[in-house]
A and B are shown apart, each in its own frame.
Chain A
């Protein structure tokens, strides 16, 4: 496999870039693997990569029912940040941000991480107190955080409306300068290529239809391409986690909802940071192509349909225009939905299950993209050692029995 570098670009320029090799193989499934990862999105591919890299386990298959990164990895708004309130969350998301910062070099693939700064706006006295508290909590956890007053917000993002006459005036914001955006497809492709180079079999168009067990222990999975044996199975299927877990009679505290996002027509560079507002509820950034990328909250009802209702988009565009009157004549180009797996405490599950050899990585809800590297890193540790890493130990299934919930509703800086 070619290592990507300026020299490989120069070399391939001589043949008009017609001879670049395929980025990963498309192997037939073997009869048995040490580990099967169900779900070929960012989290699943990252898990396979870190299993191979950190733990030397390479007899792995990643099974994907569609195509790589065709689910939520391709449907999110690509925001990366780690300014979560609670210690457990700050630790795992900060680990993720640190992995992001070295990721392009690590996997030899440009994930186009752009640390342009993420602002979380405050619109009420309650928001201000919550924001300042979160800044202090972040700093105590070694996460960079600043508090900006309204003038500071205006300076950092000049097009924002900070008028005192606004219905929900901007009173200030938290700012994480190390936050930003990354290129979503590159994350899936980069991890796939890096995992494949280490011997991981990536098998697309292969849907898991059953999980076989013998005496309470996992023995493999039934798929649309036949039975594949496995000593360990990791479910990393986002919105379909409950469906897969139910195949092994495991109940999860997850509801699947549509989360919609949309982009505008491409316009000239106008916003060079990420702006999020939990109160009027929209988040906005601008892609390298010039499109404004926007998202907000989930549709209320349970769904696996990858689409939502129009009034949710209407609401988030109303919020957008409240903050950015300058966008009033920008036309929206397309919208789409992904199916997010929401937990009651808005925190994920990266955990063993009551079934021996079955592991679940799910419940990332509306904020999974930023967690991709650490999610895979921690889940690989859990799969390899049969015990969680201290970073993901709090994100277990038992917390719903013991009551040790990690309530990130709102505490994460944006309503979920």
Chain B
């Protein structure tokens, strides 16, 4: 059972949240210029990190705000939460297990 700290509401039960998957997948600036393989990469290909993972959560049964979180995908420990549009508080690359 996860206890998730919403940046607005504080620590709440996991059942109040919806999961949004991998964070920081930027919407293409010029969608009309994308090749099929670039679309595939944007839409479907995922990092699926084993280790510290930047992901999105939505406080659906609360303040209804989206936010980002860093969470370890083996221990499930939350490293930190931060608002949409912000950079991760610690480097994700350097702390990966693999």
B1 to chain A, nearest CB (A): 5
Kindly state the separation between the CA atoms of A300 and B18 in the bound complex, as whole angstroms: 8
Kindly state the separation between the CA atoms of A252 and B15 in the bound complex, as whole angstroms: 29
Contact present for B46 and A252 (CB under 8 Å): yes
A309-B2, A311-B14 known; A302+B21 contact, CB < 8 A: yes
Q: How large is the interface on A (under 10, 10 to 19, 20 to 34, 35 or more residues)?
A: 20 to 34
B98 within 8 A of A: yes
Kindly state the separation between the CA atoms of A325 and B88 in the bound complex, as whole angstroms: 48
A255-B21, A311-B1, A311-B14 known; A304+B50 contact, CB < 8 A: yes
Contact present for B1 and A402 (CB under 8 Å): no
Contact pattern, A 323-365, Cβ under 8 Å of B = 1, otherwise 0: 0000000000000000000001000000000000000000000
- 9 tightest A-B contacts by CB? A242-B48, A253-B44, A300-B19, A401-B40, A251-B45, A400-B44, A400-B40, A309-B1, A304-B50
Contact present for A240 and B36 (CB under 8 Å): no
30 contacts between A and B (CB under 8 A): A240-B50, A242-B47, A242-B50, A243-B98, A246-B47, A251-B46, A252-B46, A252-B48, A253-B40, A255-B22, A256-B73, A300-B18, A300-B19, A301-B55, A301-B76, A302-B21, A302-B22, A303-B74, A305-B73, A305-B74, A305-B76, A309-B14, A310-B1, A311-B1, A311-B14, A400-B45, A401-B36, A401-B37, A401-B39, A401-B40
Contact pattern, A 286-302, Cβ under 8 Å of B = 1, otherwise 0: 00000000000000111
A311-B14, A401-B36 known; A253+B1 contact, CB < 8 A: no
Contact present for A256 and B48 (CB under 8 Å): yes
Measuring CB to CB, which residues of chain A are less than 8 angstroms from any residue of chain B?
240, 242-243, 246-247, 251-256, 300-305, 309-311, 344, 400-403
Contact present for A253 and B46 (CB under 8 Å): yes
Kindly state the separation between the CA atoms of A305 and B43 in the bound complex, as whole angstroms: 26
B56 to chain A, nearest CB (A): 11
Residues in B whose Cβ lies below 8 Å from that of A243: 48, 50, 98
Contact present for B76 and A254 (CB under 8 Å): no
